[in-house]
Copies of this chain bind each other. A is one copy, B any other.
Amino acid sequence: MNELSVGVEVEVPFYDVDAMNFAWHGNYFKYFELARCALLRLIDYDYPRMKASGYLWPIVETRVKYVRPATYGQKLRVEARLIEYENRIKIAYLIKDASTGEKMTQAYTVQVAVDAEKRELQFVSPEIVVKNVQNALKR
């Protein structure tokens, strides 16, 4: 592999749909997170592991382009792709309609490591992340 990526399926639930009959824009961050957690599991660094490693990874930046609105019951494919990992974790997301493949939404998130004890921002990713990504890429 020369790139890490993963896809999950999400069906838009009733409780995510707003009074305009579309999935409310803020709910997409849940869909991104489902794909992000799947991606982090690929590098054996999901939230419990993060915590155990002594680092938090808050999201410090995000950008989203909503191309087509999603509706109740629509099946979406949410793809997450690891773009950067050496100094920070940048993940790109692409949401498509699961049956037609039409592009629905495009986004990215940026996370940085914070030492959980000292609350200090890390300007380089902790060794465990770099090692785990490189191992996953060899598979």
Contacts and interface: CB of A to CB of B under 8 A. Distances in A.
A69 B29 CA distance: 17
A84 interface: no
A63 B63 contact: yes
Number of copies: 4
Q: Is the interface of A mostly helix, strand, loop or mixed?
A: mixed
Contacts of A30: 13, 15, 26
A127 B13 CA distance: 26
Interface stretch (A53-61, A75-83, A89-97, A128-136): A53-61
Interface of A: 13-15, 17-22, 24-27, 29-30, 33-34, 37, 46-48, 51, 56, 58-67, 69, 72-73, 109
